């Protein structure tokens, strides 16, 4: 836990409450390079010595940190999701909720059942049966596939990108059972995102984290979603609360803690910028190519499906929207169908309550409030 946690309270409680990213590197022969490094978590050395790098994004599993989990999923769109289930506890309510989020966002899922050394065979079989049953449920509609050999790993990796097959691994961190199969599977998994095609587009990145580095100044971090950026490039950054954008200069770039001259689509990059104060930066802001036309969106028209809601939704209802790194309150202004209940789908007009954001048409988002869950796709945006 101490190797993954970012804050002291996470180590003390044993619960992840933030988004942390760790890198696993493989060489040409499929061996993990981390094991041979003086510091197994040294991002720069992993990045430089690997022929393939897998980014593991650790998200909070507790209900209390669902908002952070949703930001992690939407801000860093993953190729695949690994649902971890403890053999001695089974698939709990939040595990089912996280599975539902992955299904709604169309993220292929594989399941890892841990702590197999702690339970009797009957308990492990019961947990396995429960996982299979949930994966086969209407709406989830997955094909459970228990991985027992290296050949099974090859078959599972080959069919993962379709999202139809859900491989199941049984592992123990104490005895090492199943760990080698899981490592082989991660090495064989093909990238799902076609980043090479996005490199030719204009630069676009959402800010997922901000820092004020002594001697450097404001630094922004995020996943480059489109295009590329170079040192000394002029870019747009915003929108600010009043809807304006600032022209800033990129002073330096780091990718996986390695200084580079250029960051490409698909890379996690940190940019040191000048021309803006640290106090003006917010998570969820966008960084755009200087040739792009930045817009500040106050309202958006979307097609929304209500996944879960205890009562009914009417105009005036407020909920938190997660889109990319954006996490902001929106209000239902107009609705095609009034009221909306669990299972309903319809066109709605949403308006940000406090702050305009950069939103693109066709973007997918998640709505969250207490027990309410909904998913939508942006059809049209309106800028003031």
- Across the range 169-174, mean pLDDT stands at 94
Q: Are 231 and 261 in contact (CB under 8 A)?
A: yes
State how far the Cα of 97 lies from the Cα of 66, in Å rounded to an integer.
10
Is residue 90 a part of any domain in this protein?
A: yes
Out of 160, 194, 228, pick the residue that ends a domain: 194
- Residue 326 has a CB neighbour count (10 Å cut-off) of 27
What DSSP string describes 322-351? EETTEEEEEEEEEESSSSB-TT-EEEEEEE
Residues 70 and 59: beta-carbon distance below 8 Å: no
Query: Is the model's pLDDT at 230 over the cut of 90?
Result: yes
pLDDT tens, residue by residue, 285-316: 999 999 998 999 999 999 999 988 889 999 99
Instruction: Note the maximum CA span of the chain.
Output: 63
- Kindly report the three-state secondary structure assignment for every residue of 216-278: CEEEEEEEEEECEEECCCEEEEECCCCCCCEEEEEEEEEECCEEECEEECCCEEEEEEECCCH
Q: Is the pLDDT at 110 greater than 60, yes or no?
A: yes
Is the confidence at residue 115, as pLDDT, over 80?
Answer: yes
Residue that finishes a domain, picked among 135, 164, 194: 194
Within-domain flag for 338 = yes
Determine contact, residues 55/268, Cβ cutoff 8 Å: yes
Say whether both 56 and 165 belong to one domain.
Answer: yes
Count of C-beta atoms within a 10 Å radius of residue 237: 25
Q: Point out the domain boundary residue: 289, 317, 334.
A: 289
- Measured in whole angstroms, the distance separating CA 205 from the mean position of its chain's CA atoms is 14
Query: Domain holding 71: CATH number?
Result: 3.40.50.300
Are 24 and 78 contained in the same domain? yes
106 secondary structure, DSSP code: T
Q: Say whether 204 sits in a helix, a strand or coil.
A: strand
Chain segment 350-374, per-residue pLDDT in tens: 999 999 999 999 999 999 887 778 9
Strands 81-86 and 109-114, how do they pair?
A: parallel
Exposed e or buried b per residue across 141-169, where buried means at least 16 C-beta atoms within 10 angstroms of its C-beta? ebebbebeeeebbebbbebbeebebbbbb
| Averaged pLDDT score across all residues of the chain | 90
In this structure, the answer to whether residues 139 and 222 fall within a common structural domain is no
Supply the pLDDT for residue 48.
Answer: 86
CATH number (domain holding residue 233):
2.40.30.10
Whether 266 and 53 have beta carbons less than 8 Å apart is answered as no
Burial (Cβ within 10 Å: 0-12, 13-18, ≥19) of residue 82: middle
Q: Given this model, what pLDDT does residue 378 score? A: 96
User: Given pLDDT bands bounded at 50, 70 and 90, which one contains residue 10?
Assistant: low
State which H helix or E strand residue 213 sits in: strand 209-213
pLDDT in tens, 29-83: 989 999 989 888 888 899 889 999 998 888 777 667 677 777 777 777 889 999 9
* Residue 303 to residue 347: CA distance in whole angstroms: 4
pLDDT of residue 76: 77
* pLDDT band at residue 159 using 50, 70 and 90 as cut-offs: very high
Structure tokens at 127: 């947990």
pLDDT, residue 95, reads 84
Q: What is the pLDDT of residue 315?
A: 95
Residue 33 lies in domain: 8-194
Q: How far is CA 300 from the centre of its chain?
A: 22
Give strand ranges (E) for 45-136.
Answer: 52-58, 81-86, 109-114
Residue 166, domain member (yes or no): yes
pLDDT of residue 2: 57
Average pLDDT over residues 99-126: 91
């Amino acid at each position: 836990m101490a190797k993954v946690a970012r804050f002291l309270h996470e180590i003390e409680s044993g619960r992840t409450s933030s988004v942390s990213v760790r890198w696993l590197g493989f060489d040409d022969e499929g061996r993990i390079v981390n094991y041979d490094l003086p510091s197994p978590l040294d991002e720069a050395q992993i990045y430089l010595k690997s022929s393939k790098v897998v980014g593991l994004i650790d998200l909070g599993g507790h209900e209390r940190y669902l908002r952070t989990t949703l930001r992690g999923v939407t801000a860093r769109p993953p190729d695949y999701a690994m649902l971890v289930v403890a053999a001695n506890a089974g698939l709990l309510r939040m595990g089912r909720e996280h599975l539902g989020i992955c299904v709604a966002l169309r993220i292929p899922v594989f399941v890892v059942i841990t702590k197999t050394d702690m339970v009797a065979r009957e308990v492990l079989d019961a947990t396995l049966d429960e996982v299979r049953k949930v994966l086969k449920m209407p709406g989830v509609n997955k094909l459970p596939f228990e991985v027992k050999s290296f050949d099974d790993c090859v078959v599972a990796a080959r069919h993962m990108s379709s999202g139809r097959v859900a491989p199941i691994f049984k592992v123990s961190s104490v005895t090492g059972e199943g760990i080698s199969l899981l490592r082989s599977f991660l090495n064989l998994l093909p990238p799902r995102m076609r980043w090479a095609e996005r490199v030719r587009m204009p630069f676009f990145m959402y800010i997922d984290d901000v820092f004020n580095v002594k001697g450097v100044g404001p630094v922004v971090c995020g996943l480059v979603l489109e295009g590329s950026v170079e040192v000394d490039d002029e870019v747009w950054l915003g929108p600010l609360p009043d809807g304006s954008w600032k022209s800033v200069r990129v002073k330096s770039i780091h990718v996986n803690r390695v200084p580079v001259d250029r960051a490409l689509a698909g890379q996690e990059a940190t940019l040191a910028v000048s021309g803006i104060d640290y106090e003006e930066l917010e998570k969820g802001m966008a960084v755009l190519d200087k040739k792009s036309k930045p817009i500040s969106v106050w309202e958006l028209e979307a097609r929304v499906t209500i996944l879960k809601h205890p009562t009914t939704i009417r105009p005036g209802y407020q909920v938190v929207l997660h889109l990319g790194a954006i996490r902001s309150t929106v209000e239902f202004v107009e609705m095609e169908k009034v009221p909306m209940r669990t299972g309903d789908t319809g066109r709605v007009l949403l308006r940000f309550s406090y702050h305009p954001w950069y939103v693109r048409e066709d973007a997918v988002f998640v709505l969250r409030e207490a027990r309410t869950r909904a998913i939508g796709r942006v059809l049209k945006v309106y800028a003031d």
